Chain A
């Protein structure tokens, strides 16, 4: 099992450009998440999908959109990148029950100039 995979690993964008970060999991998990990690701020939830067909905003959704393409895949789109979106992005997944842990991908390091 590959677990949670993310592409690309690194990306440099210019302000105003768009891009999609891809995430896939092979553990048959129901729930998937997108976080961003910034120094001194821990991980902050951008969007999540509790189950296939549903998506909800997290703590910092502005400037992002998501698509739960199927049970395996959950993508994050930046429509018009801004320097404030320079960050490391992590995808995660989990299954019920309550209290079960999330499994994380290796991350995508995004720089917006």
Chain B
């Protein structure tokens, strides 16, 4: 069965510092991969997704993620954190082969705090 693990439930960075949020997946076939962001008391919003094209994916708000098959990872990065980046971030996977209905499996989430 597929699974996804986000390392670190809380990450704190200073404004202007690098943001690195880690996501590893378990799947025999590389799945579709997604990063979503959730601001307080809101729903989830897509940041970026990997389907099968370029392994380096650029998303909204200056975020990007790199798909590394050898490491089964899809880590999210942003070169310079902004106060407005404070939110909870979720990595999710979708089975590429056996997935009627496009179901997603989510990681546990990582809460990002940005210190001034």
Give the interface of A toward B (CB within 8 A).
4, 31, 33, 35, 40-45, 48-50, 56, 58, 90, 92, 94, 96, 98-107
Contact partner of A33 among B34, B45, B103, CB < 8 A? B103
**Residue contact A99 to B49, C-beta cutoff 8 Å:** yes
Contact A100–B106 (Cβ < 8 Å) = no
Q: Which of B14-22, B61-69, B73-81, B92-100 contacts A (4 or more CB under 8 A)?
A: B92-100
- Contact yes or no, A94 B102, CB < 8 A: yes
- B93: min CB distance to chain A, Å: 11
B100 touches A104 (CB 8 A): no
Residues A99 and B94 in contact, CB atoms below 8 Å apart: yes
Using known A-B contacts A48-B103, A98-B102, determine if residue A40 contacts B108 with beta carbons closer than 8 Å: yes
**Alpha-carbon separation in the docked complex, A108 to B42 (Å):** 10
In the bound complex, do residue A45 and residue B102 qualify as a contact, i.e. CB atoms below 8 Å apart? no
Q: Determine the chain A residues whose CB is within 8 A of the CB of B103 once the complex forms.
A: 33, 45, 48, 58
**For the complex, what is the distance from the CA of A4 to the CA of B32, rounded to whole Å?**
23
Q: Counting CB contacts under 8 A, is B55 at the interface?
A: no
CA distance A103 to B90 in the complex (A): 14
Q: Say how far A72's CB is from chain B's closest CB, in angstroms.
A: 17
Give me 8 other A-B pairs in contact (C-beta within 8 A), A42-B108, A50-B102, A100-B102 excluded. Answer: A33-B103, A56-B100, A90-B44, A96-B102, A101-B34, A104-B36, A104-B45, A107-B42
Interchain residue pairs A-B with the least CB separation, the first 3:
A50-B101, A42-B106, A104-B43
A58 surroundings in chain B (CB, below 8 A)? 103
Question: How far, in whole Å, are A96 and B51 apart by their CA atoms in the complex?
Answer: 13
Contact residues of B between 11 and 55, Cβ < 8 Å to A: 32, 34, 36, 41-46, 49, 51-52
